Amino acid sequence: MSNFDINKIRADFPIFQNNKLLVYLDSAATTQKPKQVIDAVSDFYSNYNANVHRGIYELSMKATEAYHSARQKVADFINAPDWRSIVFTGGTTESINLVAYSWARKNLIKGDEILITEMEHHSNIVPWQLVAEEIGANLKYIPINTDGTLYIKNLDELINHKTKLVSVIHQSNVFGTVNPIKNIINQAKQVGAITVIDAAQSVPHDIVDVQDLDCDFLAFSGHKMLGPTGIGVLYGKTELLESMTPFMGGGDMINSVTMTESTWNDIPYKFEAGTPNIAQAIGLGAAIDYINEIGLINIHDFVKHLLNIALEKLRTMDGLTIYGHQVGKSSSVISFNLEGVHPHDLAQFLDQDGIAVRAGHHCAQPIMDKLSVSSTIRASFYLYNTEEEIDKLCASLKKTASFFSNL
């Protein structure tokens, strides 16, 4: 981990200079931003703000160039063979909805099956419920085990000749489980089903190679990988994107418009109606540069190291139930509950010690149902967290547990 200097990294994040006591353990919700990203966005607005693809003047050409360069950086980051595969969206949610509208609604018919898992974030459930209801397709689920893994023993039954689309979360935002998506993609391909990967939690943490996975679509969000909010990515195989109709109509996505009909621009512009999120895309490009500079593998190994330390310490605490992390591969998030303390109360007590964690259902209510809980606490880690912060979390948890046991 030669490039990994935690003090230097923390110094890059103004939020920690401006909130000296902050222990930020909610990066799975959104990450903090290094000054390199903030500066890139500010530089755009201060020095070359203009609309893209439109102006035949220097500023607009500069903005267009920077916007395009961000797209190329994204393509390289996930090893997409062609920048035209990269559609900029508002986030993972919009990316998945784009596939649901532009591919699923056009290609599925009554009786077809859509397969997802019980581990999904709501953004990979609700769009398919809407499609299934509209078309008369059937939404099926790969079940989960209570240890936070997928039950895939009968995958060959679940993926059958009726299955037309399989959409799976890569890394769980609740358990941290890293799912065997390559197996699932391979199985889906055998029946000719289209595959969609929700990579919102995996792309920030590990190498995701779309050519190696050979998935058809893959979605992720810039704000979970040091980039700005309001920018996300849909990767799609070019031949699929080319075959699809637009998601939204408006400027930039057309070739020609008459009073009676329109023709579409080339991919990826066909799916980017209106003025895109230019500053945010440039910010995402800067985030990718930052991650590359440190090394994604280094980040992965460091976060894994923190995760293991946190697990080890939390496991020794009385009354604490940790969900997942028993078998298989997992990363970056730990969900848990403390006996006798409601997660929302616990989060408030932790907040009093400056510790920011998420409490709730994490937009994954089917998981909560499976675990028979209404909510959990979730601590999530990224490259700027420290072992001392884990100690602070444990100390605050112990203090809270003792407060409640003395009531």
Ligand X SMILES: Cc1ncc(COP(=O)(O)O)c(C=O)c1O
Choices 40-48, 193-201, 254-262, 377-385 (CB under 6 A): range interacting with ligand X: 193-201
Give 236's strand partners: 217
Q: Is the CB of 26 or the CB of 389 nearer to ligand X?
A: 26
Nearest distance from C-beta of residue 59 to ligand X, angstroms: 30
Q: Is the CB of 341 or the CB of 371 nearer to ligand X?
A: 371
Non-local (6+) Cβ contacts of 42 within 8 A are none
**Residue 366 makes contact with ligand X by CB under 6 A:** no
- Decide: helix, strand or coil at residue 269: helix
**Residue 144 makes contact with ligand X by CB under 6 A:** no
- Decide: helix, strand or coil at residue 174: coil
**Residue 173 makes contact with ligand X by CB under 6 A:** yes
Choices 152-160, 195-203, 243-251, 306-314 (CB under 6 A): range interacting with ligand X: 195-203
b/e string for 44-70 if b means 16 or more Cβ within 10 A?
beeebebbbbeeeeeebebbbebbeeb
Q: Which of 169, 203, 299, 393 binds ligand X (CB under 6 A)?
A: 169
Nearest distance from C-beta of residue 358 to ligand X, angstroms: 9
Interface of this chain with ligand X, residues 214 to 233, rule: CB under 6 A: 221, 232
Q: How far apart are CA 298 and CA 7, in angstroms?
A: 15
| Residue 241 · residue 87 · CB < 8 Å | yes
Q: Which of 27, 93, 331, 396 binds ligand X (CB under 6 A)?
A: 93
**Residue 92 makes contact with ligand X by CB under 6 A:** yes
- What would the two tokens of residue 196 be? 């969609």
Active site residue 363: yes
For the residues of 289-330, what is the DSSP string, one character each?
A: HHHHHH-HHHHHHHHHHHHHHHHHHHHTSTTEEEES-SSS-B
Q: How far apart are CA 140 and CA 279, in angstroms?
A: 39
**Residue 123 makes contact with ligand X by CB under 6 A:** yes
**Residue 89 makes contact with ligand X by CB under 6 A:** no
**Residue 195 makes contact with ligand X by CB under 6 A:** no
Q: Is the CB of 123 or the CB of 177 nearer to ligand X?
A: 123
Q: What character string, x for contact with ligand X (CB under 6 A) and - otherwise, covers 37-76?
A: ----------------------------------------
Catalytic residue among 38, 61, 317, 363: 363
In 24-113, where does DSSP find H-type helix? 35-43, 58-77, 92-99, 105-107
Interface of this chain with ligand X, residues 373 to 392, rule: CB under 6 A: none
Choices 86-94, 127-135, 284-292, 335-343 (CB under 6 A): range interacting with ligand X: 86-94
**Residue 198 makes contact with ligand X by CB under 6 A:** yes
Non-local (6+) Cβ contacts of 218 within 8 A are 78, 196, 197, 199, 208, 210, 233, 234, 235
Give 376's strand partners: 360
Q: How far is CA 18 from the centre of its chain?
A: 27
Nearest distance from C-beta of residue 30 to ligand X, angstroms: 8
Q: Which of 102, 149, 195, 201 binds ligand X (CB under 6 A)?
A: 201
Q: Is the CB of 92 or the CB of 330 nearer to ligand X?
A: 92
| Residue 145 · residue 154 · CB < 8 Å | no
Non-local (6+) Cβ contacts of 120 within 8 A are 167, 168, 169, 198, 364, 366
Q: Which of 41, 200, 334, 397 binds ligand X (CB under 6 A)?
A: 200
Choices 32-40, 77-85, 91-99, 106-114 (CB under 6 A): range interacting with ligand X: 91-99
Q: How far is CA 76 from the centre of its chain?
A: 18
Q: Which of 34, 91, 230, 246 binds ligand X (CB under 6 A)?
A: 91
Task: Give the up-direction half-sphere exposure of residue 97: CA atoms within 13 A in the CB hemisphere.
Answer: 13
Name the residues annotated as catalytic.
363
**Which residues form the interface with ligand X (CB under 6 A)?**
91-93, 121, 123, 169, 173, 198, 200-201, 221, 232
